[in-house]
Structure 1
């Protein structure tokens, strides 16, 4: 039996699950941009796969948060706001969430969720768990929504999307985040 998938079979999978197609497209575009960081066509195409409507679609099943211990108080605020807004959020501190079928391990959460809320600070950039989670999402083509909590240099992360800035105006940051991930009714 041949284990290779045909183009027709792949197109059928993509038709049934646009997120898989978008993740696959993001993987390819990120690889191109890693080799050719100034490729404007690839950068533009990648940004189209990260539009608000795409983030909303991907977030409807829930999001995962990555943050360091020093940023836990802020992460808890984000978690609470999103949960009150009706979104499922996986976070280490709250991994025993409300339902029996909700993800209980970090690895399963990475596999299950299509959106990572990456809380950024200098401490987070030096946290092995935060960076490993970021890398898993980046490599799998999943969406990464950067939340800039404290000033830090994030150019090496190759996010290709403007972070939601919480540094000067927390309320504006929360409004922008809620707009981006809100669940359509």
Structure 2
């Protein structure tokens, strides 16, 4: 629904002041408020289409919009915006949109297209400078985010991989002691008992940890082989070609799919000797 604005509505004026602060005078803000269009959209309306050449700049008055981007063959959620503006590049450059923008709920926006800008700029060239400042500010912010993401990625690459510990509950005392001894030797392990905070979804956190960790320590025992969770976990790693270091804690019949893997045997040697072999194997993985 479109509504003309005969005089500067207070909400609209404040929204324009927020966007064009320190660039346009109050008189020019009033003139711009009388020029712009205000539109209301229901949820699910596509305002900007990725890769399309469009010419409209939006200022959100109320409501929210979702930023979606096509990545790896699918549409992925990027962010939600409210009380801000977007699409400013369309006013000064014939560049395609970088993402889809879809209303997440009933949303009211100020719209300024390129013809509006051209007409207003003939009387007040300051508006072009104001738009350029917005573009520069957004570009610098995006560069900052990119640098931050790159730094996070580099830190991640420099961080030794975590090892997911898959085990049965009846083996918990052994596993807890093992985790302590490994951490003392600079081996970082993910253990559900230590890494899931109260109130969080166990299955969701375990699923994330399985994807995050680069290798698995699989504690084999009769109870471990009877556990559906343990079975799902090591099969998931094999299916995804992720490394598994099996350790035999108690004698059991090893599944056929695990026969080709080298075991660390805790049943036929002392704990300290087996632990030393395990640490050596894990250090090799960390350095690979």
The question of a shared fold, defined as TM-score above 0.5 by the shorter chain, is answered with: yes
Displacement of 1:162 after TM fit? 2.0
1:68 and 1:155 map into 2 onto residues whose CA distance is 16
Q: Please give the secondary structure, in 2, of the residue aligned with 1:146.
A: strand
Among residues 194, 213, 221, which one is paired with 1:94 in the alignment? 194
Q: Please give the secondary structure, in 2, of the residue aligned with 1:87.
A: coil
Q: Which blocks of at least 5 consecutive residues in structure 2 are unaligned?
A: 1-69, 74-156, 198-203
Which structure has the highest helix share of the two?
1
| Pair member with larger Rg | 2
Aligned CA distance change for structure 1 residues 174 and 82 (closer, same or farther; 3 Å):
same
Which structure has the highest strand share of the two?
2
**Partner residue, 1:109:** 209
Among residues 135, 145, 150, which one is paired with 2:245 in the alignment? 145
Displacement of 1:133 after TM fit? 0.6
1:112 and 1:159 map into 2 onto residues whose CA distance is 25
Q: Please give the secondary structure, in 1, of the residue aligned with 2:252.
A: coil
* Pair 1:68 & 2:168 matched: yes
**Partner residue, 1:174:** 275
Deviations 1:129-154 (A, max 9, x none): 11111111111000010010000010
2:172 and 2:262 map into 1 onto residues whose CA distance is 22
Displacement of 1:128 after TM fit? 0.6
Q: Which blocks of at least 5 consecutive residues in structure 1 are unaligned?
A: 5-56, 98-103
Segments of 4+ moved more than 6 angstroms: none
Q: Please give the secondary structure, in 1, of the residue aligned with 2:251.
A: coil
**Partner residue, 1:118:** 218
Write the mapping of 1:49-88 to structure 2, written as runs, cut at 5 A.
60-88=160-188
Choose 155-164 or 110-119, whichever is displaced more. 155-164
1:66 and 1:157 map into 2 onto residues whose CA distance is 16
TM-score, reference length from structure 2: 0.40
1:106 and 1:155 map into 2 onto residues whose CA distance is 23
Question: What is the root-mean-square deviation in Å for CA atoms of aligned residues?
Answer: 2.5
Deviations 1:144-174 (A, max 9, x none): 1001000001042334122100013211110
Q: Please give the secondary structure, in 2, of the residue aligned with 1:94.
A: helix
Q: Please give the secondary structure, in 2, of the residue aligned with 1:65.
A: strand
Aligned CA distance change for structure 1 residues 137 and 159 (closer, same or farther; 3 Å):
farther
Q: Determine if contact 1:144/1:159 at 8 Å carries over to the other structure.
A: no
1:131 and 1:155 map into 2 onto residues whose CA distance is 10
